[in-house]
Amino acid sequence: MRDRFSEAEALAAIPRLTRSRLVTYVAAQVVMPVIAEGGLVYRQVDIARLALICDLTEDLELDETGVAVVISLIDQLHAVRQDLHALARALEAEPAEVRARIGAVLRSER
């Protein structure tokens, strides 16, 4: 699987995406490609995000505001997920009795 795409390759990878929509999404910073010598370069995550945006606008008929809200929520969820993974790694480094105490507190909070 490729990890870098030119604008033309990004447009070819997502048939429903037009150049004008791509420019709009980049200008709105919904997608943030990398600046390279030959122009903007889109990563695999950008391609997936653009495909999702096309789905949201065409299949679910969300307007720009709705898409912005959904993308913002996805970004927040992703950040929380990264934080949880970091916390889990930190907890793994703790002694067993510390992990047991934290686990007991978490179970009592449910």
Q: What are the sequence ranges of the domains in the chain?
A: 1-61, 63-110
| H-helix segments, 1-110 | 7-13, 19-27, 44-54, 64-92, 96-108
3-31 mean pLDDT: 93
pLDDT average, residue stretch 4-20:
95
pLDDT of residue 64: 85
pLDDT, averaged across the chain: 93
CATH of 1-61, one of 1.20.1070, 1.10.1660, 1.10.8, 1.10.20: 1.10.1660
Encode pLDDT of 82-93 as tens digits. Answer: 999 999 999 999
Model pTM score: 0.77
Q: CA distances (Å), 56 to each of 31, 49, 69, in order?
A: 14, 10, 11
Residue 81 tokens, joined: 């997920």
